[in-house]
Structure 1
Amino acid sequence: MKQKGKVYLIGAGPGHPELLTVKAARVIQEADAVVFDRLVSPEILSLICETALQVPVGKSADNHPVPQERINEILKDLAQKGMVVARLKGGDPLIFGRGSEEAEYLRANDVTVEYVPGITAAQGMAASTGVPLTHRGLATGVRYVTGHRQANGSLDLDWKSLACTDTTLVIYMGVANIAQISMRLQAEGLSEDTPVLAVASATTPREKRVYSRLGRIAADIHDAGLKAPVLFVIGKVVMMGEDWQTNTVEEILSAARVDTCGKLAHG
């Protein structure tokens, strides 16, 4: 009887191999085939068994050599051949990873699917830079937002609700649109002096950081030459980063006291 295959939708984390879950590392090493995205780090790819079939399906802006529909078919075909397939995605497969879309397709074709969660880029960034995503007195919540739309569509986000000084805003895939994002947030009342941190390739040996302010982040990113993957963190918590000028909560609160969302009162 032919063995039935299976697809594991695996979060490869932000890049450092020690930030993989134990289960993710085991499945990567035991899989018959590994289908991986462009953002999966070379350090993690080195864990793949030498005998495993390796299928790169990475995409970048305006460059999709393997369309999503074809990726779905590849996963289905490999599993239907009886193979255990590790589908590697940067970060977590259920946070801007299209994991649920692939799972939907596979299940519709009678392929067994299992998720293996990963540390998303925002969590990895927080650990490597010392910038918390929430902090008492600084941020009561955090929001993950995409800075890119399919086919370069319009960023039709709820800018008014995003321009909240009580919230940490994390922008994924926003390099190309950071100037627009900055302007729209300022138009809704977020101060141009709002702290911003941009981190490229967080947690890896290639990590680069740029500390800035909302009003000049686009220019600073251009001058620094940061390339994707870049994560943007917008909010007062950025001032707790180990490279920021001030580090104490008391200094931060005295520099930027919040009245209500969208209104910043300077002390």
Structure 2
Amino acid sequence: MDHPPYPSGLRLAGRRVVVVGGGHVAQRRIPALIAAGAEIEVVSPQVTPAIEGMLGSGELRWTRRGFEAADLEGAWYAVCATDDEVVNEAVSAAAEERRIFCVRSDDALAATAWTPAVGRHGGVTVAVLSNREPRRSATVRDEILAGLRDGSLDARHQRPQTPGVILVGGGPGDPDLVSVAGRKALMEADVVVADRLAPRELLSQLPSDVELVDVAKLPRGRSAQQEEINRVIVERALAGKSVVRFKGGDSFVFGRGYEEVIACRAAGVPVTVIPGLTSPVAVPGMAGIPVTHRGVAHEFTVISGHLPPGHPESLTNWSAVAGLAGTLVLMMAVENAPAIASALLQAGRPTATPVAVVCDGTMPTERTVLATLGTLAARLEQESVKPPAIIVVGEVVRVAHPEAF
């Protein structure tokens, strides 16, 4: 009868562990033993360069010869990792005689212990054994770890939440592009205050008791709305809630995130930041357009186009921008794109400068409209381009689409 193994967590810190063999199998096993704090002795005539490198740091000892039964004296655990069946049998016999649990890399049925597929996250150790099927064990382990990391397996109601505010950048729109840390923060939140451009699908995965505050339903007007967002996140945090402020892109790239940081600090509310993929880099990248390219662009400049050139509140020196040789990436610029193109042309940028307008970047409706600075206004009208879109100006567009230019 093939009995199942009895699982147990070994505490090996300060305890002697003998690894017999110095090849690649031993090389894979040793790091976990080091992490556990074991006093490791490797017994082998030769070892790999990686194992030899560990010797210099004092993390293990090397007995440079073949195995002898006495090597197991005083050991708590043994790992048999050679490709010599005779040696492996000798290690097993010596371990059995001394009542030392022994892992065998060549024959699990002859071993007295099995090595599980192990992973750790947030203070939890996951160890999976699937009846000598290592690939299946690794797959199950990875699925469990993924659930812990994204919050879907997290026992959020079983531990106290930390009051405060976390600014989470959601990335350019595709829910798969949010960071692991960002997804976990969302699933652990008591309150989520979400932007229109934050990945919508993630909001549908929130636990049913999470309060969702839709920014689009707050008072209109740019300043009034931001003041209300600040008030909401501070108020909920002071009430003892864990609050996630969820935005599209990155909170600190034209996301007004630092205004929220200032409001939290002024109110004495703890605030942390989880960055998101920055849309002016990620969206062109996903659309196949590099913002830099060797021999073509040595810099890229990200500019907010929410105000047109010449506007009294504009902080952009468009004449200086036109003199740059690299890539321009324009955000929130669809409405003012014709005026921006005109300003760049007047300041000396060539009419034939390639332009790409990436609409609904990373989403199922994504499309790229190609133009030049001279034709941009007409192309936007012809293609009925609406926000959100990111506009890339420069020779990198020609690199990505040589057939169009």
Q: Work out whether 1:102 is the aligned partner of 2:260.
A: yes
**What SS class does the counterpart of residue 135 from structure 1 fall into?**
coil
Q: Work out whether 1:195 is the aligned partner of 2:354.
A: yes
Q: Do 1:11 and 1:116's aligned partners in 2 also have CA atoms closer than 8 Å?
A: yes
1:104, CA displacement in angstroms?
0.4
Amino acid at match of 2:348: G
1:5, CA displacement in angstroms?
1.5
CA RMSD of aligned residues (A): 2.4
Q: Distance in 2 between matches of 1:26 and 1:89?
A: 15
Determine which of 299, 305, 313 is the counterpart of 1:147.
305
Q: Distance in 2 between matches of 1:201 and 1:41?
A: 12
1:172, CA displacement in angstroms?
0.6
Q: Do 1:165 and 1:235's aligned partners in 2 also have CA atoms closer than 8 Å?
A: no
Q: Distance in 2 between matches of 1:245 and 1:198?
A: 16
Q: Which residue of 1 aligns with 2:344?
A: 185
Q: Do 1:33 and 1:85's aligned partners in 2 also have CA atoms closer than 8 Å?
A: yes
Q: Distance in 2 between matches of 1:75 and 1:119?
A: 23
Which of these two proteins has the greater Rg computed from alpha carbons? 2
| Matches for 1:225-240 after TM superposition, within 5 Å | 225-240=384-399
Q: Which residue of 2 aligns with 1:7?
A: 165
1:108, CA displacement in angstroms?
0.5
1:3, CA displacement in angstroms?
7.4
Q: Do 2:328 and 2:393's aligned partners in 1 also have CA atoms closer than 8 Å?
A: yes
Determine which of 326, 329, 335 is the counterpart of 1:170.
329
Q: Do 1:173 and 1:230's aligned partners in 2 also have CA atoms closer than 8 Å?
A: yes
Determine which of 358, 374, 380 is the counterpart of 1:215.
374
Which stretch shows the higher mean deviation, 167-176 or 46-55?
A: 46-55
Q: Distance in 2 between matches of 1:90 and 1:144?
A: 16
For residues 47-99 of structure 1, the C-alpha deviation after alignment (integer angstroms, 9 at most, x for no partner) is 3222210001139xx86596111110000011011111110111000100000
Q: Do 2:168 and 2:251's aligned partners in 1 also have CA atoms closer than 8 Å?
A: yes
Q: Work out whether 1:120 is the aligned partner of 2:278.
A: yes
Can you give the 5+ residue segments of structure 2 that lack an aligned partner in the other structure?
Answer: 1-159
For residues 128-163 of structure 1, the C-alpha deviation after alignment (integer angstroms, 9 at most, x for no partner) is 11111111111000111000149x865452112211
1:4, CA displacement in angstroms?
5.8
Q: Distance in 2 between matches of 1:149 and 1:192?
A: 22
Can you give the 5+ residue segments of structure 1 that lack an aligned partner in the other structure?
Answer: 247-254, 256-267
Query: TM-score scaled by structure 1?
Result: 0.84
Name the % identity. 36
Greater relative contact order, per chain length (Cα 8 Å cut-off, separation 6+): 1
